[in-house]
Amino acid sequence: EPEMTLTIQREVLMALGDTDALARFDQEHRQALAQEQAARVKAMQQVQEAPTRVKALEQYINDLAGQMVAGVDESLIDLEIRRIFQPSAQRMLEAAKTFVQAWREMQSVEAVLLQRVRLTHTRVTGDTCTRFDHELIGQTRDGELLPTLIAGISYEELRDLNDQFTRTDNELVVALDNALRRAGFDGWGLKVYHPKAKGDERRIYAPDPNPPKKHLGHGTGLSTVVRVDV
């Protein structure tokens, strides 16, 4: 709001009819009074122009949103994402082929050994004795890549592999994330603003950058008398 201290003081002197005091006041505060009045005129002009300026600004923002949408090609973005992702997927496929071959080999060896290399214990009376069960490969539980029982491999090694299987590579995550941030992609990605729909009369929304920290209560409704001594 513009300062009006000098303007009020001058109006009081005019109301009192003290021409000498008014002349001295104008002489002493001529420049400051002119600046104050100029500020008032500018403020009034801004108030009068505000609706038109707001309307023009909203139209400009709406036009910019239209240009933004027109300049975004989601198909190109999708192609770029796939281009970056493909080498990792290809390495995974090659490793998976090697893994499947090794897994089939292990299961095949287990099947032949357990079927052919077994001892049948029988008493001389003809009764069958309990035989020793050779367990080479355990059961794979949900979420595991490998069972935690594979003969010749320690439980700790298998457990660690299963843990790594369900986790991301933190170093790679940080490196790729930093590269994307440097390219302009923050934690929320990029926002694409669309213009208002046809017939939508709502105002353009913008969050308040400085929202009030507390609720301002209503006044008491009682008037206050102020005495000004001149």
Q: Is-above-0.85 flag for pTM?
A: no
> Structural domain boundaries of the chain?
5-70, 81-130
Give the lowest-confidence range in 37-41, 84-88, 105-109, 212-216.
212-216
CA dihedral for 205, 210, 213, 217, sign (positive or negative): negative
146 close to 133: Cβ distance less than 8 angstroms: no
SS3 breakdown of the chain: % helix, strand, coil, rounded to 5? 55, 5, 40
CA dihedral for 194, 195, 200, 205, sign (positive or negative): positive
Q: Which residue has the higher pLDDT, 102 or 6?
A: 102
Say how far residue 227 (Cα) sits from the centre of its chain. 56
Interatomic CA distance for residues 9 and 87, integer angstroms: 79
Give per-residue pLDDT as tens, 67-107: 999 988 989 989 999 999 999 999 999 999 999 999 999 99
